[in-house]
């Protein structure tokens, strides 16, 4: 920035020049001589004039200092503004370039370097025209620019340093001098690559919904321009209420579904539109969001002309400038068909799981009854042979005893296999006793300390019990095979209508992302079993930090 010269002090005026030579004479007159009174009067007049002039010079000097200070402040403000603008340009999310009237680059911000791959010094000898792919399309854009003086959001293909072609959203405005002559232009560019990929993928995936895809594409383009476009075209129901539950705004989807216009609903509450029980339900969830001060996701049934629809409702508080919640916004998506499909899937999955468990029970029974009886008979024959051959054929008798030992081991393995297929304690005594038995069996079989702790758990139905037992069984199998743990704890509790099963070990842990990508440890099977009955499965683990498996299931819907 150019520093302005320091203003020179004002020269004395002609009156000052005349007063100073007269001072010695005044001193003489003051000391006394003929005409004392007249001389004294003249001296006083001149002294008064000197004082007045001194005051004028002092005021002028103060004014000059004030002007200098104001100029310094203006220069400092100009410097701060320049630094602020440079910072805004350099940190913009869009590429920004300034060129002269011949297209030579004057400014090239950081985002432009990232998108195009060129550093500013690498653009020497190049013009902005060299970055465009299609000369004809460039000509059309420049014609529009010359005719209108500005180009807004013009989509055009451009070349990067590595030769790749990238679609850009270009906005250009001309720069003028004081006489109105064009001296250059400012260009703001946005990379459309990711958006173009998304649009292409959407068209391929939903060819049968081409009309809807076009509408969606228009909504995506308008999403960055104004929120009203989102409110107008989104298929979701969107509304805003004040703290008292009175509507401030609803979108067009709300108007369409409930046959009420935005102007008509403003100031009304749910009690003016919906049945009282529905309004009570809405108001209760609204108050919970406002009291907790955080988003909340709920499923809410809403009556419509063709029946009751289920909506997935996301509600979150809206804050004023002081950070105080003064209302809330709700976004609701119709999931009626999805819920029907999920219900059908759960019923089908439940039936499949029930048949699987029935088949497991049948196999376990056959192993225990049929194969167990055969093995028991073989054991008895081996004992008989050993007794009859003891004196006659000692070696044969010893061989018979070894056969008996092998048969005993096989019987134990068959019993264990039958129990793992379907433990009878699960059918006869329920989930808590089954888990307690399995924890003891796991401790005996692996040597790993295993503790089971139930808390406030009522009896659950067979499907839930089977799912929880199988998840615990799979989790403990993983502990035994992979964790190198010395201790594992199983907890089962019911709190606020949520059944939670936790299996926590102190083993070596693992990287969740790598394991999930490779689909190891039966995680997919546990998640599928949990999801089929409406529950969720969460796994937490870090290397050398152990592993925690949590199965959670809302029980209200199953009772």
What is the pLDDT, as a whole number, of residue 220?
59
103 sits in which H/E element: none
Q: Is the pLDDT of residue 265 over 60?
A: yes
Tell which wins on pLDDT, 420 or 248. Answer: 248
What is the pLDDT, as a whole number, of residue 415?
64
Per the structure, the complete domain to which residue 416 belongs is given by: 337-422
pLDDT band at 317 (very low <50, low <70, confident <90, very high): very high
Q: Is the pLDDT of residue 7 over 50?
A: no
Average pLDDT over residues 19-24: 53
Tell which wins on pLDDT, 444 or 513. Answer: 444
What is the pLDDT, as a whole number, of residue 488?
95
Same domain, 54 and 106: no
Same domain, 329 and 403: no
Is residue 367 situated within a structural domain? yes
Which runs of E-coded beta strand occur in 123-234? 150-159, 165-176, 182-191
Same domain, 445 and 519: yes
Average pLDDT over residues 200-206: 75
Query: What is the torsion angle, in degrees rounded to the nearest 10, for the CA atoms of residue 396, residue 401, residue 403 and residue 406?
Result: -160
Q: H-type helices in 91-190, by residue range?
A: 110-116, 135-148
Same domain, 443 and 417: no
pLDDT tens-digit readout, 485-538? 999 999 999 988 899 999 999 999 888 776 655 555 567 778 877 887 888 999
For the chain, the maximum distance between any two Cα atoms, rounded to a whole number of angstroms, is: 177
pLDDT tens-digit readout, 104-160? 998 888 888 888 889 988 888 888 888 999 989 989 998 888 888 898 889 899 998
Same domain, 349 and 360: yes
Same domain, 330 and 344: no
CB 353 within 8 A of CB 532: yes
Quote the number of domains for the chain.
5
Same domain, 437 and 545: yes
Three-state secondary-structure class, residue 339: helix
Q: What is the pTM of this model?
A: 0.38
As a whole number, the mean pLDDT across the chain is 80
pLDDT band at 360 (very low <50, low <70, confident <90, very high): low
Tell which wins on pLDDT, 464 or 355. Answer: 464
pLDDT tens-digit readout, 318-338? 888 888 888 999 888 888 888
Query: What is the torsion angle, in degrees rounded to the nearest 10, for the CA atoms of residue 237, residue 241, residue 246 and residue 251?
Result: -30
Same domain, 301 and 324: yes
Three-state secondary-structure class, residue 157: strand
pLDDT band at 8 (very low <50, low <70, confident <90, very high): very low
């Amino acid at each position: 920035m150019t520093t302005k010269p320091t203003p020179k002090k004002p020269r004395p005026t002609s009156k000052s020049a005349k007063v100073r030579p007269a001072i010695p004479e005044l001193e003489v007159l003051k000391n006394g001589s003929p005409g004392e009174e007249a001389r004294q009067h003249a001296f006083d007049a001149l002294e008064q004039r000197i004082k007045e002039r001194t005051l004028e010079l002092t005021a002028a000097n103060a004014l000059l200092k004030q002007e200098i200070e104001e100029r310094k402040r203006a220069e400092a403000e100009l410097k701060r503004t320049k630094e602020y603008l440079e910072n805004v340009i350099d940190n913009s999310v869009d590429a920004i370039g300034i060129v002269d009237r011949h297209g030579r680059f004057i400014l090239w911000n950081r985002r432009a370097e990232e998108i195009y791959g060129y550093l500013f010094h690498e653009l020497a000898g190049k013009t902005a025209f060299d970055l465009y792919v299609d000369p004809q399309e460039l000509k059309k854009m420049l014609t529009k620019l010359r005719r209108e003086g500005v180009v807004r959001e013009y989509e055009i293909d451009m070349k990067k340093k590595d030769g790749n072609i990238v679609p850009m959203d270009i906005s250009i405005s001309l720069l003028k001098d004081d006489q109105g002559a064009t001296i250059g232009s400012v260009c703001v560019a946005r990379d459309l690559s990711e958006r173009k990929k998304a649009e292409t993928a959407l068209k391929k995936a939903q060819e049968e919904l081409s009309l809807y895809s076009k509408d969606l594409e228009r909504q995506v383009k308008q999403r960055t321009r104004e929120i009203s476009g989102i409110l107008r075209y989104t298929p979701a129901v969107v509304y805003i209420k004040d703290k008292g539950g009175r509507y401030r705004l609803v979108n067009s989807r709300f108007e369409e579904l409930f046959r009420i216009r935005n102007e008509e609903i403003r100031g009304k509450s749910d009690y003016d539109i919906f049945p009282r029980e529905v309004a009570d339900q809405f108001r209760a969830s609204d108050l919970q969001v406002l009291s907790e001060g955080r988003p909340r996701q709920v499923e809410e049934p809403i009556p419509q002309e063709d029946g009751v629809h289920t909506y997935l409702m996301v509600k979150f508080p809206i804050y004023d400038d002081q950070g105080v919640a003064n209302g809330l916004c709700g976004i609701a998506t119709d999931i009626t068909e999805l819920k029907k499909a999920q219900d059908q899937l759960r019923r089908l999955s439940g039936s499949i799981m029930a048949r699987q468990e029935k088949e497991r029970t049948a196999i376990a029974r056959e192993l225990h009854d049929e194969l167990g009886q055969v093995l028991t008979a073989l054991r008895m024959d081996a004992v008989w042979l050993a007794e009859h051959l003891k004196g006659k054929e000692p070696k044969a008798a010893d061989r018979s005893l070894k056969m008996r030992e092998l048969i005993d081991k096989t019987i134990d393995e068959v019993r264990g296999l039958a129990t793992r297929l379907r433990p009878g304690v699960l059918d006869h005594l329920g989930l808590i006793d089954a888990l307690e038995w399995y924890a003891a069996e796991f401790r005996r079989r692996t040597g790993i300390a295993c503790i089971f702790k139930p808390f406030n758990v009522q009896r659950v139905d067979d499907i839930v019990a089977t799912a929880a037992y199988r998840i615990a069984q799979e989790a403990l199998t993983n502990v035994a095979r992979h964790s190198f743990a010395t201790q594992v704890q199983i907890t089962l509790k019911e709190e606020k209508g949520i059944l939670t099963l936790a299996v926590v070990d102190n083993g070596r842990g693992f990287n969740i992302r790598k394991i999930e990508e490779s689909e190891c440890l039966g995680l997919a099977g546990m998640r599928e079993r949990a999801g089929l009955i409406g529950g969720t499965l969460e796994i937490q683990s870090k290397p050398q930090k152990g592993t925690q498996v949590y199965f959670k299931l809302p029980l209200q819907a199953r009772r």
